[in-house]
A and B are shown apart, each in its own frame.
Chain A
Amino acid sequence: MAKPTEVRTMSEAGSTYIDAFPAEAKVVRAAFYSSFLALAIGGLFGVVQTLHRTDVYRFMDSADYYTVLTAHGVLLAITFTIFFLVGVFTWAITTSLDRGVEDIRFTWAWYGLMVLGTALVAIPIFAGFTDSIDMSASVLFTFYAPLQAHPLFYLGLVLFVVGTWLAGVDWFRSWLAWKAENPDERIPLPTFMVLTTTLMWYIATLGVAIAILAFLLPWSLGLIDSVNPLLTRTLFWFFGHPVVYFWLMPAYMMWYIMLPKVSGGKLFSDPLARVVFVLFLILSVPTGIHHQYLDPGIAEGFKFIAMTNTMFLLLPSLLTAFTVVASMEHGARQRGGEGYFGWLKALPWRDPVFTGMALAGLMFAAAGFSGMINAGMNINYLVHNTFWVVGHFHLTVGTAVALTFMAVTYWFLPQVTGRALWNRSVALVQVVLWFVGMTFMSNAMHRAGLLGVPRRTAEPQYDGFEFEAAVGSVGELNAQIALGGILLTLSLALFFANVVGTAFNGKSDSLPANGYAETLSGSEDAPLVLDNLKLWTAIAVVLVIFAYTFPILSIVDRGGLFGPDVNPFPVSLDTLPVLGLVLEQYVTTALATAGELTGSIVTEVTP
Chain B
Amino acid sequence: MNIHTYEKLWLVAAMVLIVGFIATITYGSVGLGITMVGDQQPTIEPSEISDDERFGEPRVEHVGENEYEAYVVAQTFAFSPDPIEVPANSEVTFYVTARDVIHSFSVAGTNINTMVIPGEIAEMTVEFDEPGEYGIVCNEYCGSGHHDMEGMLHVVPEDEFDMTELSVDADDELELGDEAAFNVSVENRMLDDLETTATLEIGDEMLEEELTVAGGDLEETTFTVDTTDLGEGEHDWTVAIDNYEESGTLTVVEELETDDENEDDDGDNGSDGDDDENDDGETDGGEDDE
The listed residue (B10, B119, B150) touching A230 by CB distance below 8 A is: B119
Check A458 against B147 for contact (C-beta < 8 Å): yes
B28-39 near A? 1/0 per residue, CB < 8 Å: 110000111111
Check B39 against A299 for contact (C-beta < 8 Å): yes
Check B146 against A294 for contact (C-beta < 8 Å): no
Q: Within 8 Å CB of B143, what residues of A?
A: 66, 147, 569, 571
Least CB distance, B38 to chain A, in whole angstroms: 4
Check B102 against A567 for contact (C-beta < 8 Å): no
Q: Within 8 Å CB of B106, what residues of A?
A: 385-386, 452, 454
Query: Within 8 Å of chain B (Cβ to Cβ): is A372?
Result: yes
A378, B143: Cα distance in complex, Å: 28
Q: Within 8 Å CB of B133, what residues of A?
A: 465
Query: Within 8 Å of chain A (Cβ to Cβ): is B206?
Result: no
Query: Within 8 Å of chain B (Cβ to Cβ): is A185?
Result: no
Check A459 against B137 for contact (C-beta < 8 Å): no
Check A460 against B117 for contact (C-beta < 8 Å): no
Query: Within 8 Å of chain B (Cβ to Cβ): is A463?
Result: yes
Check B36 against A451 for contact (C-beta < 8 Å): no
- Stretch from A8-16, A27-35, A308-316, A410-418 forming part of the interface with B: A308-316
User: Known contacts A458-B147, A569-B143: does B119 contact A563 (CB below 8 Å)?
Assistant: yes
Check A66 against B38 for contact (C-beta < 8 Å): no
Check B18 against A298 for contact (C-beta < 8 Å): no
Cβ-closest chain A residue relative to B76: A569
Least CB distance, A70 to chain B, in whole angstroms: 9
User: Known contacts A315-B14, A459-B147: does B22 contact A300 (CB below 8 Å)?
Assistant: no
A564, B18: Cα distance in complex, Å: 39
Cβ-closest chain A residue relative to B1: A271
Cβ-closest chain A residue relative to B96: A296
Q: Within 8 Å CB of B34, what residues of A?
A: 378
Query: Within 8 Å of chain B (Cβ to Cβ): is A307?
Result: yes
What is the total number of residues of chain B having a CB less than 8 Å from a CB of chain A? 72
Check A372 against B111 for contact (C-beta < 8 Å): no
What is the total number of residues of chain A having a CB less than 8 Å from a CB of chain B? 83
Check A229 against B102 for contact (C-beta < 8 Å): yes
Query: Within 8 Å of chain A (Cβ to Cβ): is B258?
Result: no
Check A311 against B118 for contact (C-beta < 8 Å): no
Least CB distance, A452 to chain B, in whole angstroms: 3
Q: Within 8 Å CB of A466, what residues of B?
A: 135
Check A296 against B141 for contact (C-beta < 8 Å): no
Check A300 against B102 for contact (C-beta < 8 Å): no
Least CB distance, B122 to chain A, in whole angstroms: 4
Check A385 against B14 for contact (C-beta < 8 Å): no
User: Known contacts A296-B121, A377-B25, A458-B146: does B18 contact A384 (CB below 8 Å)?
Assistant: no
Cβ-closest chain B residue relative to A312: B18
Cβ-closest chain B residue relative to A147: B101
Least CB distance, A72 to chain B, in whole angstroms: 13
Within 266-315 of A, Cβ neighbours of B (below 8 Å) are at 268-269, 271-272, 292-300, 303-304, 307-308, 311-312, 314-315
Check B25 against A465 for contact (C-beta < 8 Å): no
Least CB distance, A459 to chain B, in whole angstroms: 4
Check B117 against A296 for contact (C-beta < 8 Å): yes
Query: Within 8 Å of chain B (Cβ to Cβ): is A62?
Result: yes
Check B139 against A455 for contact (C-beta < 8 Å): yes
A176, B194: Cα distance in complex, Å: 82
Check A66 against B141 for contact (C-beta < 8 Å): yes
A185-228 near B? 1/0 per residue, CB < 8 Å: 00000000000000000000000000000000000000000001
Q: Within 8 Å CB of B147, what residues of A?
A: 62, 65, 457-460
Cβ-closest chain A residue relative to B41: A296
Cβ-closest chain B residue relative to A387: B139
Q: Within 8 Å CB of A385, what residues of B?
A: 104, 106, 113, 139-140
Check B1 against A527 for contact (C-beta < 8 Å): yes
Query: Within 8 Å of chain A (Cβ to Cβ): is B11?
Result: yes
Q: Within 8 Å CB of A318, what residues of B?
A: 10, 14, 17
Within 538-573 of A, Cβ neighbours of B (below 8 Å) are at 554, 558-559, 563-567, 569, 571
B1-17 near A? 1/0 per residue, CB < 8 Å: 11110110011001101
Interface centre among B3, B21, B41, B148, by most A CB within 10 Å?
B21
Cβ-closest chain A residue relative to B108: A452
A379, B110: Cα distance in complex, Å: 11
Check A567 against B113 for contact (C-beta < 8 Å): no
Q: Within 8 Å CB of B26, what residues of A?
A: 304
Q: Within 8 Å CB of B227, what residues of A?
A: none
Check B37 against A294 for contact (C-beta < 8 Å): yes
A597, B43: Cα distance in complex, Å: 49
User: Known contacts A452-B106, A564-B45: does B117 contact A558 (CB below 8 Å)?
Assistant: no
Task: Report, nearest first, the 7 A-B pairs whose CB atoms are least far apart.
Answer: A452-B108, A465-B135, A454-B139, A564-B119, A296-B122, A381-B111, A63-B144
What are 16 A-to-B residue pairs whose CB atoms are below 8 Å?
Answer: A66-B144, A146-B101, A296-B37, A297-B43, A300-B35, A311-B21, A312-B18, A377-B29, A381-B111, A385-B139, A385-B140, A456-B146, A458-B147, A558-B39, A565-B46, A569-B100
